[in-house]
Amino acid sequence: MALALLAGGPALAQQPGGAPPAVGVVAATRQPITQSSEYIGRIQATNRVNLVARVAAFLEEVLFSEGTEVKKGDLLYRLEQGPFRAEVQAREAAVAQFKAQLQNASLVLGRAQALLKTPAGQQANVDTALAGHLALQAQVLAAEAQLQQAHINLAYTEIRAPIDGKIGRTAITAGNYVNPGSGTLVSIVSQDPMYVVFPVPTRTVIDLQQKSGGREGLVIRVRLPDGSLYDQTGRLDFIDNSVSGNTDTMVLRGVLPNPKRLLVDSELVMAVLQDVQPTEALAVPRAAVLADQEGDYVLVVAKDNKAEKRRVKLGQSTPAFASVLTGLADGETVVVDGIQRVRPGQVVAPGPAAPRVQPPAGAAVGPAKP
């Protein structure tokens, strides 16, 4: 037994003497944080055109490279023009013929009116000549209208770009017969600027409209599919006039410049809606925030150095700091370093926490997550 006691003596001497665990603490302080929210959205082109054939003819030439940008007025398709040129010539001949007949009718009417002043003249002849003259005037107008329609149909054999934008794949190649029922030949979508469209809960929309500044107090950012933040900011330009009955949301739309063509029509993105100016908010380091089944909480060091579990409601956050809406008072001390060694109600030995980078004012942020 004596040997056993001697063998255990050094081990017992090495056990801790019950000193309170050392922890790093910081005071909850008010800091400038930019309020923002993220919503799933899609990029939409501000203009989209589906080109179709306006006349029936064989497609002779496709004059663009698929997937490139085109300018308004660029010639894209050329249809067979021979039959339409012939139609124009036939209509020009009809106009000339009726004009000649009208000129002759004018002479006949003049002679009949002159004879009416003599004993040989008859009113019936004047009436007949006048009726013929008026009928030929109407025929000239009809022939001119048919000539104008023939010119329009001839112009439809050249299909041009109605807007600036990026052109897609052609659905019909040269040599095929096309008509107005052939469907879309190709689509063009504008490139700069672009829309981002996203649904927002109705309650949030009401809050946005009641905030100081309204739309002008907000900016739109976009988080691309790779997780990076798009380097251009936009503005909110449209709030829908009705609420979706299924989701209780309203559709919002922002406009963003797209000089580098990074935004693509129908692309799925995250729309970031944030305030123009940062606001003061009570903030603690994100490392101080824990969570369990009941929600978020922090460990507060009371005056007697006992750790107290405090339920908090979080607002916005930066990568390093989380804003606290309720549960903490300005200046209260929370545990940041060594938090894993502390239990609620335990006495701790508080000390300054390791320094952390302060968030720059106006930095884009997202919902706080512990």
Residue 133 lies in a domain: yes
State the Cα–Cα distance between residues 143 and 128, nearest whole angstrom: 23
In a domain, 206, yes or no: yes
Cβ density class 251-290: b for 16+ within 10 Å, e for less: bbbbbbebeeebbbbebebbbbbbbeebeebbbbbbbbbe
13 neighbors 342 (Cβ within 8 angstroms): no
Kind and range of the H or E element at 1?
Answer: none
Please give the pLDDT value at position 71.
95
Q: Is residue 301 part of a domain?
A: yes
- Rounded CA separation 190/199 (Å): 23
Same-domain check for residues 239 and 319: no
Residue 192 φ then ψ, to 5°: -150, 115
Task: Give the CATH number for residue 122.
Answer: 1.10.287
What φ, ψ does residue 134 adopt, rounded to 5°?
-65, -40
CATH assignment at residue 161: 2.40.50.100
Are the C-beta atoms of 211 and 186 separated by less than 8 Å?
Answer: no
* Residue 203 burial (C-beta neighbours within 10 Å; 0-12, 13-18, 19+): exposed
Backbone φ/ψ region at 23: left (φ over 0), alpha (ψ -120 to 50), beta: beta
- What is the number of alpha carbons within 13 Å of residue 272 lying toward its C-beta? 23
Q: What is the pLDDT of residue 268?
A: 95
Domain total in the chain? 4
Q: Do residues 252 and 353 both lie within one domain?
A: no
pLDDT the model gives residue 5 = 37
Contact by Cβ (8 Å): 194, 46: yes
Beta bridge partner(s), residue 36 = 274
Enclosing domain of residue 283? 21-33+279-367
Residue 199 in any domain: the answer is yes
* The pLDDT of residue 212: 53
Q: What is the pLDDT of residue 118?
A: 79
The CATH number that applies at residue 317 is: 2.40.420.20
Q: What is the pLDDT of residue 319?
A: 65
CB 154 within 8 A of CB 84: yes
| CB-based contact 253:237 (threshold 8 Å) | yes
285 and 363 inside one domain: yes
Measured distance CA(169)–CA(186) in Å, rounded? 6
Per-residue model confidence (pLDDT) at position 306 = 87
Residues 298, 317: one domain?
yes
User: What is the model's pLDDT at position 173?
Assistant: 93
Does 16 map to a domain?
no
Residues 359, 295 share a domain: yes
In terms of Cβ atoms closer than 10 Å to its own Cβ (0-12, 13-18, 19+), residue 321 is: buried
Per-residue burial over 149-183, b = 16 or more CB atoms within 10 Å of its CB, e = otherwise: ebeebbebbebebebbbbbbebebeeeeebeeeee
Q: For residue 133, which amino acid is it?
A: H
Q: Along the 370 residues of the chain, how does pLDDT read in single tens digits?
A: 343 333 444 333 333 556 888 888 888 888 777 677 789 999 999 999 999 999 999 999 999 999 999 999 999 999 999 999 999 999 999 999 999 999 998 898 888 888 877 777 688 888 888 898 899 999 999 999 999 999 999 999 999 999 999 999 999 999 999 999 999 999 999 999 999 999 998 888 887 777 655 667 788 899 999 989 999 999 988 888 888 888 889 999 999 999 999 999 999 999 988 776 667 778 888 888 888 888 889 889 888 888 888 898 887 666 677 888 888 888 888 889 888 888 888 888 888 887 765 544 444 444 443 3
**Cβ within 8 Å of residue 246, ≥6 positions away:** none
Give yes or no for a contact between 24 and 349, defined as CB atoms under 8 angstroms apart.
no
In-domain check, residue 311? yes
The letter for the amino acid at 204 is T
SS3 (DSSP) at 348: coil
Q: Are residues 25 and 75 in the same domain?
A: no
SS3 state at 240: coil
pTM: 0.67
